[in-house]
Amino acid sequence: MKSSHFLLTASSLFCMLNSQLHAEEKQVYVGAKYGQYDFNLERMAAVDQGQGFAIFGNLDLSKGLALEFEYGDSGNADFEYDGSTIKGGEIRLQHIGAYGVYRTPGTFYGKVKLGVSVNHLDATNLNCPYGFCTDTISKDDGATVYGLGAGLNFAKQFRAELEYTALDSDVDSFQLGILFGL
């Protein structure tokens, strides 16, 4: 019974969105980003920058507004810890986000985004004195995400963007992305 309610709600939502999409000729983009992730974690003596990627989809709505959905991975970054239990290791962030985006009109444009993200942070290969700690520590949390960027429309079907994004209070990224229209 519950699945039929879900199917009815999902199909109704699809029909409402689909009618809006056909009315205004929306554009769907898929893309990939590559860049640097910076970790500013409490009590870390030193943290290297991670080199990571993100893949994402973008749905242009109207007048510069869009929705973006993204999966990103920071890659591993070495860290040193300031405490007495853990001396160092590697850190990695994976995130899934949904954002509202505004792009200014024009060939060169500005970009602002705001949304939410679910983050999974792993500290692995931990260096502990006397081996008194586990090899991996993980943390899952949600965060408000915001970002600024600039882009270039090469053609109706192709964009390039450079953007800064704050993924959490202590993790941000600076990435170059390419979008292709479908």
- pLDDT for res 127: 76
For range 147-170, the mean pLDDT: 92
- Predicted confidence at residue 45, as pLDDT, reads 59
Number of C-beta neighbours around residue 126 at 10 A:
19
What is the identity of the amino acid at 176? Answer: L
User: Which tokens hold the place of 61?
Assistant: 């709505």
Q: How many CB atoms lie within 10 A of CB 151?
A: 20
Question: What pLDDT does 4 receive?
Answer: 43
pLDDT value of position 126: 77
CA dist 20 and 133 (Å) reads 55
Q: What is the mean pLDDT of residues 143-152?
A: 96
Binning pLDDT at 50, 70 and 90, where does residue 35 land?
very high
Q: Which of 35, 41, 51 is nearest to 147 (CA)?
A: 35
pTM exceeding 0.85: no
Q: Does domain 26-181 bear CATH number 2.40.160.20?
A: yes
- What value, to the nearest 5°, has the Cα angle with vertex 54 and ends 76 and 14? 140
Domain map (residue ranges) of the chain:
26-181
Q: What is the pLDDT of residue 46?
A: 61
pLDDT cut 70: percent of the chain above it: 77
Instruction: Confirm if 79 and 42 have CB atoms less than 8 A apart.
Output: no
Least confident of 20-24, 92-96, 178-182: 20-24
pLDDT tens digits, 84-142 = 666 778 888 999 999 999 999 999 999 999 999 999 988 887 777 666 677 777 888 89
Report pLDDT for 21: 43
Taking the C-alpha atoms of residue 172 and residue 49, their distance in angstroms, rounded to an integer, is: 10
Q: What percent of the chain has pLDDT over 90?
A: 48
Q: Which of helix, strand or coil describes residue 73? A: strand
25 falls in which pLDDT band (50, 70, 90)? low
